[in-house]
Amino acid sequence: MDRIQILRDQVVADYEQKTPGSRSLFERAAKALPGGASGNLRYFPPYPLYMSSGDGCRAVDVNGSTYVDSFLCNGPLLLGHRHPAVMAGIARIEEVGSLVVNPEIMIECAEKLQQVIPSAERVRFLNSGTEAVMTALRYARAYTRKTKVVKFYGHYHGQDDQLLVGVGTDRRPLGHGVPESSHDNTLTLPCDDIPAFEELLASRDDIAAVIIDPAMHGSGLWGVSREFLAALRDLTHEAAIVLIFDEVITGFRMGLSGAQGYHSITPDLTTLAKALSGGERLAAVVGSAEVMQVTDPLAPKQVARVFQSGTGNDATFALAAALGAIGEYERLAKASEFEALFARVEGLEVTIRAAFEARGIAIHVNRVCSMMQLFITDVEPKFENFVGVNTELQDLLHLAMINEGVILSLPTSDHMYFSFMHDHEAFGEIAAALDVVLEKYPFAEAFREQVQTR
């Protein structure tokens, strides 16, 4: 008996019964949008969930069903949907217009980042995390006048071809359409391996930058040790290599000052996006005045010149939203609310482990501050083993949780984020829904079959 198929049929049937409006919209959307969505992570079988609104930690679908939302549009909504501080920031400048050249609010926002991000001696605004990473690498190459960039296996840094390599355990690109030549200047190393990095440094002198995601989010949220980050800081400083923290994910999520504040390590450049503006489209490269002068028209003539510009880089609504969001993060930090949120998420982690273990289902949970990912497997928990692990059961778990009014994550994504609006009541609802799901559907039987047939 195929118990996994039985589980799948039950979960999918209940999902289809709960979401007829989404099915109808998918049939319409698929005729205009590949997969009926605007990004690969937004599609999942049998069809995506289509939403109509959000408020706090809750979102409403097109059928009017309300969910506790712990996907939060893949992380930006650290303050939840439509937070008053963000909405008030936008309302403050609603008569300015969405775009004017060099608005004063751009200066205000840059000054605020200088106050809260240790590496932010200078600031440049952009539109997306991918754009910020591309720009930071260009700055580093211009500053050092070298070409090679070091990234680490398991780390994701956005959509640029040069970095869509080494996201797994080898150098295969992430998806097709990425020419091999595009990552000729990208060197890849295992993470948290100081000797390997030292050996690379000893063998060449053409490295411009090292880029790292301090949460190692893209391949399972494994985190990066403070010891390794400190070693990178020391070794790159000695070798005159630009150290870049990609804090598109960790910025503000690991505290007011991001991962660099959490670990007390200051990189040369930092990329920010997502939580920066509480949901509006905005990104930034911040860094030392010395490195950032490569994009300064007033720099001395001997300084290398980088061209970087963009029509929407100073969009007023996004900048206003960022000012509102950062101001709220400051207030929350003073009230120790970051630590309180981390504690609530840790409590949920304990609850999840207990719920699965009570039913004889092996579970591994990775958590960094207010972010979480889980794996339904008995495989030894380490990045190299989990890259190719079967995720079918956890995908079905997320679909089943939707059936019970919780978007823990989207199936095929497994990225879980929790906002300051996730109070004890919301976490209680998540825990209760998980118990219902594990009793209602035959996950235990399907797990045992998966282990037996592996």
Domain boundaries, the chain: 3-81+336-453, 84-334
Phi/psi at 141 (5° precision) = -65, -40
- pLDDT for 1: 59
Least confident of 56-65, 193-202, 301-310, 323-332: 301-310
pLDDT band at residue 423, thresholds of 50, 70 and 90?
Answer: very high
Task: Report the C-alpha gap between 131 and 383 in whole angstroms.
Answer: 27
Range list of β-strands (E), 65-133 = 66-69, 122-126
385 pLDDT exceeds 90?
no
Of the chain, the end-to-end C-alpha distance in Å amounts to 16
By C-alpha distance, which of 27, 335, 85, 373 is closest to 220? 373
DSSP class of residue 234?
H
82 pLDDT exceeds 90?
yes
CA 307 from chain centre, in angstroms, equals 27
Q: Residue 64: which region, alpha, beta or left (left: phi > 0; alpha: psi -120 to 50)?
A: left
- Taking CA atoms, 226 is separated from 195, 200, 203, in Å, by 16, 20, 25
Topology match between the domains 3-81+336-453 and 84-334: no
CB of 58 within 8 A of CB of 69? yes
User: Can you give the three-state secondary structure of 322-341, one letter per residue?
Assistant: HHHHHHHHHHHHHCCHHHHH
Name the pairing type of β-strands 371-375 and 406-407: unpaired
Task: Report the C-alpha gap between 49 and 449 in whole angstroms.
Answer: 29
389 pLDDT exceeds 90?
no
- pLDDT for 27: 97
Q: For 425-451, what is each residue's pLDDT tens digit?
A: 999 999 999 999 999 999 999 899 888
Phi/psi at 240 (5° precision) = 55, 40
Amino acid at site 121:
E
> 366 - beta bridge partners?
373
Cα torsion through 191, 134, 268, 79, rounded to 10: -80
Q: Packing angle between helix 3-18 and helix 392-403, nearest 10 degrees? A: 30
218 pLDDT exceeds 90?
no
- pLDDT for 92: 87
| 3-class DSSP assignment, residue 443 | helix
The percentage of residues in the chain with a pLDDT greater than 90, rounded to a whole number, is: 87
Q: For 161-183, what is each residue's pLDDT tens digit?
A: 999 999 999 999 999 999 999 99
Q: Which residue has the tokens 């869509």?
A: 164
- pLDDT for 81: 97
Task: Report the C-alpha gap between 86 and 69 in whole angstroms.
Answer: 18
Q: For 34-73, what is each residue's pLDDT tens digit?
A: 999 998 889 999 999 999 999 999 999 999 999 999 999 9
The CATH code of the domain at 3-81+336-453 is 3.90.1150.10
Q: For 356-377, what is each residue's pLDDT tens digit?
A: 999 999 999 999 999 999 999 9
Which architecture does CATH list for 84-334? 3-Layer(aba) Sandwich (3.40)
Task: Report the C-alpha gap between 204 and 202 in whole angstroms.
Answer: 6
How is residue 4 written in tokens? 């996994």
Mean pLDDT (the chain, rounded): 95
Amino acid at site 213:
D
- pLDDT for 449: 87
454 pLDDT exceeds 80?
no
The percentage of residues in the chain with a pLDDT greater than 70, rounded to a whole number, is: 100
- pLDDT for 267: 98
Least confident of 2-11, 205-214, 386-395: 386-395
Task: Report the C-alpha gap between 138 and 149 in whole angstroms.
Answer: 10
247 pLDDT exceeds 80?
yes
By C-alpha distance, which of 188, 161, 155 is closest to 173? 161
7 pLDDT exceeds 70?
yes
99 pLDDT exceeds 90?
no
Task: Report the C-alpha gap between 249 and 350 in whole angstroms.
Answer: 23
Helix-then-strand count for the chain, H and E: 15, 14
By C-alpha distance, which of 394, 388, 367, 414 is closest to 169? 388
Q: What angle (nearest 5°) sits at the alpha carbon of residue 22, between those of residues 16 and 28? A: 120
How is residue 17 written in tokens? 């019964």
- pLDDT for 280: 92
Q: For 124-150, what is each residue's pLDDT tens digit?
A: 999 999 999 999 999 999 999 999 999
> 271 - beta bridge partners?
246, 285
How is residue 43 written in tokens? 């599609």
